Each structure stands twice: as structure tokens, then as C-alpha cells.
Amino acid sequence: MNLYRKLVLVLAALLLASCASARLQDDIGVSMEVMESIYAEQKEEMGLVLLDARWARQWGCGRFENAQLISFSFDRFPFSGKPDHAPHDITVGTTRVLSVQPTFESYALLVPPGKYALSNFRIKVAASVSQVGYWVANRSDLIQGEKVIGGSFEVAAGEVIYIGNFALDCQDAPTLWRYHPTGKDAFESQLDDYRAKYPFIDLGKVKFRLFETDQIGYPYELQ
């Protein structure tokens, strides 16, 4: 069963009973964004990962009244059989579920070099005001042994890479999706957002290296 098919089945189950958890979004453990002092000291030994995320609710998402991306996480190889409840190596998320602007937010994360796989994502779904639940794709759904189901990216020491824009896709059922700017001009425009938020980062050698996946995005090479 592929990831999308499994997602549809779990979302259908959510409609049968309310399974909202008011504590879910409080337990994300969001990774720290890069700081100027740490970047200056560690930029040669660590990798810098750039990505965007969109947290706003999307209305009419699949057959739900609305849905909202809450968080997504990555684990570094080797995985060593960590259980679903163990902390993830990288987590990008929001603790805001109301009054979130419908725009992408830029993030720059300084991480140890290596290969990382998608290991979790959380989506809040609502069939109505009274029917609210969460779909959580766990580590065991997205990584099976050393097999990566959701996708991965790799960063080397001293590299600066851009891996994509993460948001909901609502065509059939709410799911995490990796988007990207199309064309060099659009990519340069997005880099301006990183320059504005992180003026201390050197983006002169940034590499367009999308999160690789055949489940939540399409292949694309910058021309």
C-alpha cells in the first residue's frame, strides 16, 4: 500500500470519531533556526538547509471543511530503529493554529552533514466545527528499516542547499507536498526572502537541491 492510499484510509477513519488533541501542537519540539553567532563558528563543519513552509488553514481541502499543516520532521541516516515517539533530528512546525497568514515562511536550519529522510508529518483536519482530528504520518509509516518511503535530502559540510517549499496538497485528500519555484528568476526572488530574514548568511553558492520524493512531489531541475 503506498503512502497516499494509506493516508486516504486513515483520513476516512477520522470522520467516524472526533480525535482532536489539544496538546498535539504543544509537543512538536521545533528545531532552532540558525543564529548569526553559531553560523559564523560552525558554517564550515555543518550544512545549512533552506526551506519554506505554509501553515495557514486551507478551506475545502479534499472532502474536509478545512485542513492545516502543523509540522514535518526529518531523521538522519542511519536510523537505528528509533520508535515513533522518539524525538526527530529536525522538526519544522508551528504552534499557531489561528490567525496564520496564508503565505510561505522562510527557514534556515544549521544541521550536521548527512542524508536525511522525512520521518513525520502532522495535519489537523476538520469535517465540521465539532469533527476535528489529526492525521499523523509516523516514523514507522515513512521509514521501514533502511527503506525511505516519503523522500530524502543530503547536505555536506559547508554547503548551503535549498530543498523546497512545504505545504498541503488538497486535490484528493490533505497531505504534505513539496513545491518549488519555477525558473531561475523565481528562485532568485525567493532567495531575497532568505537574505532579508538572515542577512548574515552567504548565499553566493547556494545549491538548488530539492527534497527527493516520488510520493509528495515531482522531480524538477532548475534551468
Q: What is the pLDDT along the chain (223 residues), one digit of tens a residue?
A: 455 444 444 444 443 333 333 233 345 567 888 999 999 999 999 999 999 999 988 899 988 888 999 999 999 998 878 899 999 999 999 877 666 778 899 999 999 999 999 999 999 998 887 788 888 899 999 998 888 999 999 999 999 999 999 999 998 889 999 999 999 999 999 999 999 999 999 999 999 999 999 999 999 999 8
Q: What is the pTM of this model?
A: 0.86
- Contact partners, residue 82, CB within 8 Å, separation at least 6: 75, 139
* Contact predicate 7/173, CB 8 Å: yes
- pLDDT, residue 29, reads 66
The amino acid at residue 145 is: G
| pLDDT for position 100 | 73
Residue extents of the structural domains in the chain: 3-208
What is the model's pLDDT at position 150? 94
- CA quadruple 132, 169, 47, 142: dihedral, nearest 10: 70
Q: What is the pLDDT of residue 20?
A: 32
Residue 52 main-chain phi, psi, to 5 deg? -120, 155
